[in-house]
Amino acid sequence: MAIESINPATGKLIRSFNPLSDEAARQKITLAAEAFRDYPNVPLEHRALCMRKLAAILEHETDDLAALITLEMGKPIDGARFEILKCANACRYYADHAARMLAPESIPGGDHYSYVRWDPLGVVLAVMPWNFPFWQVFRFLAPALMAGNVALLKHAPNVPQCALAIESLVRRAGFPRGTFQSLLLEVHQVEMVLGDDRIAAVTVTGSERAGRAIGAQAGWLIKKSVLELGGSDPFIVMPSADLDLAVETAVQARCVNSGQSCIAAKRFIVADEIYDRFEQRFVAGMEAVRVGDPMKEGTEIGPLATVQMVEHLEAQVKAATRAGARVLTGGERMLGAGNYFEPTVLTGVPRSSAVYREELFGPVAMLFRVQDLNEAIAVANDTPFGLSASAWTRDPAEQQRLVSELQCGGVFLNAMVASDPRLPFGGIKRSGYGRELSAAGMREFLNAKTVVIASAGSVNEISGDAYLSDAAD
């Protein structure tokens, strides 16, 4: 079955690719395994030089690469340019800070010298999604290559040209052959690749379904896995908030990447005292968002990435209204060519309905009225997901409670949720496990190797301690 690149703004086929055969995929795994034999010995300074060159190429070719993103998955061109520049920033961050993150950590104690060193695991398989086709890859790629790992990318089937472009960029930056390869595969072939003994670990960003399948196989194989899956992030607004700024940010947070982001705000939980004012302004803001050709400057919402995404979102909105929700604006698929859906606001979605607990991947917001902070936190946590949360209040006591009681991987007070190379990124519950970005993300695919060096005359003592420890175990 061909892997097809289809323009979501027009529905027209751009290019078609034949997937790799199993044998061709195994040859690429062989190349990666051979590359790993030598790559960890490449001086860190040389890896950093290549990473900085990669950042420079991204910046120099921003317009062309952004146009490719927009062509393949419909991201508005302004957002596509920002995505490419964000990738360049991540490359420079890890080039600048990898030495600190990888430095051995001395452990004081006793008469012996002890330290922890960080060793790369080997060949890491990355299964990545289409919604940020460069950024999702680079936030894994940059720390992995700086740490001495090598990578194989199985990208989403609707962005094959982005996948191939990333491989080309890495090679042009000077990284050795085989350290990063894109595999154009069908979904069922992932099991074969992950099952290969030469694959040391896997990272998945994508749907809960994909995470369950790959995480289960990795667990059975006893291979390290990191899962960054769906989210239904709450956006909480309390009476002390700057309402104008909160509303403006709320619209932006729901519509970022045409609503197709795991950390886009999806559930807007507003205190009763200010709910009516928030609802009126928020609906007006959603109605004012510019929907159109993603290649045009100023477009804020483009098409959804695939026909299937539009159909699924449409079915979710209809299910919500059947369950008793009201549509305040939008609610329909837009007529004409392309995968467009109206910016939509729902209110009164019953907490007993299935849609209440699902992720809405598109420009559809759910509003909830709550009486106080206790109810706001309860509604925010009443979800199977736990990725991030944005909370708006100027009350220090409320801020402290929100930080400590919200069940998620990150809390942003009076700010929109965003990923940043300096900060760990990831979730809990069905949003997955493990972290990306920062030192924490780099170390997910490193072996924390304990080293103990006996002082002179204490070898027998160390051997005896080890014996006793083994016996106790």
**222-281 per-position pLDDT tens digit:** 999 999 999 999 999 999 999 999 999 999 999 999 999 999 999 999 999 999 999 999
pLDDT of 352 > 70? The answer is yes
Q: Do residues 250 and 234 make contact, with C-beta atoms less than 8 angstroms apart?
A: no
- 93 token code pair: 């961050």
Is 444 marked active-site? no
Q: Do residues 6 and 71 make contact, with C-beta atoms less than 8 angstroms apart?
A: no
Residues with Cβ within 8 Å of 205's Cβ and at least 6 positions away in sequence, in order, are 127, 128, 129, 136, 140, 228, 229, 262, 436
Report d(CA 265, CA 156) in Å as an integer.
23
> How confident is the model over 393-418, as pLDDT tens digits?
999 999 999 999 999 999 999 999 99
- Confidence class for position 386, pLDDT limits 50, 70, 90: very high
Whole-number pLDDT of residue 110: 81
Q: Which of 50, 87, 262, 408 is catalytic?
A: 262
Fold topology of 3-229+431-450: Aldehyde Dehydrogenase; Chain A, domain 1 (3.40.605)
Q: Which of 83, 228, 279, 359 is catalytic?
A: 228
CA angle, 206 as apex, 200 and 208 as ends, to 5°? Answer: 100
Query: Domain-by-domain residue ranges, the chain?
Result: 3-229+431-450, 233-413
Is 228 marked active-site? yes
Please check whether the domain covering 233-413 is classified as CATH 2.60.40.4070. Answer: no
pLDDT of 472 > 90? The answer is no
Partnered with residue 269 across adjacent β-strands are 236, 368
Scanning 323-455, the segments in alpha helix (DSSP H) are 373-381, 396-405, 438-443
Higher pLDDT, 471 or 371: 371
- Confidence class for position 464, pLDDT limits 50, 70, 90: very low
pLDDT of 313 > 70? The answer is yes
